[in-house]
Structure 1
Amino acid sequence: MDNNIVRNYWLALTAMYGVAISVVAIAIWGGAVLGAITFLGMYLYLQRLGRFHQQSKETAA
C-alpha cells in the first residue's frame, strides 16, 4: 500500500510538470504571436496616420 502512494505521488507530480511545461510553451508562442500582431498593427497604423496634428503654415516647408 505504501508503495502505491509513493508511485501515485510521483505520477501526479510528473503530470503536473508536463502540463506546466505545455502551458509555458503555449504562453511563449502566444506572446510572440500577439507581439507580432501588435507590432504589425501599430506599424500599419502609423504608416497611414502617423501625424498626430497637421502641419501649420509656419512649419510647412
Structure 2
Amino acid sequence: MWNRGYRFDELRLYVDGYLDALRHSNAIEVYLIHRLEEDAVRYLRDPSNFEAVPLPEPETDYY
C-alpha cells in the first residue's frame, strides 16, 4: 500500500479499521488482536520499512 501512495495516516486508518472488524466479529481471541495491533504499530513506526530500495539493474550481455 505504501508503494501505491498511501502514507502513514492512511495506513494507520486501514489497520485501525481492520482491527475493529476483528474485534467486532469475535473472529480471534482478544489477546491475539492486541498482539497484532502492537506488531502493526511497531512496523508502521519503523522508518526503515518504508525506505525506497533501489531495484537492481538488469545485466546485459555484451558479445
Pick the structure with more helix per residue: 1
Query: What is the TM-score when the length of structure 2 is the normalising length?
Result: 0.33
Query: What is the TM-score when the length of structure 1 is the normalising length?
Result: 0.34
Q: Which has the larger radius of gyration?
A: 1
Report 1 or 2 for greater relative contact order, CA contacts < 8 Å, sequence distance ≥ 6: 2
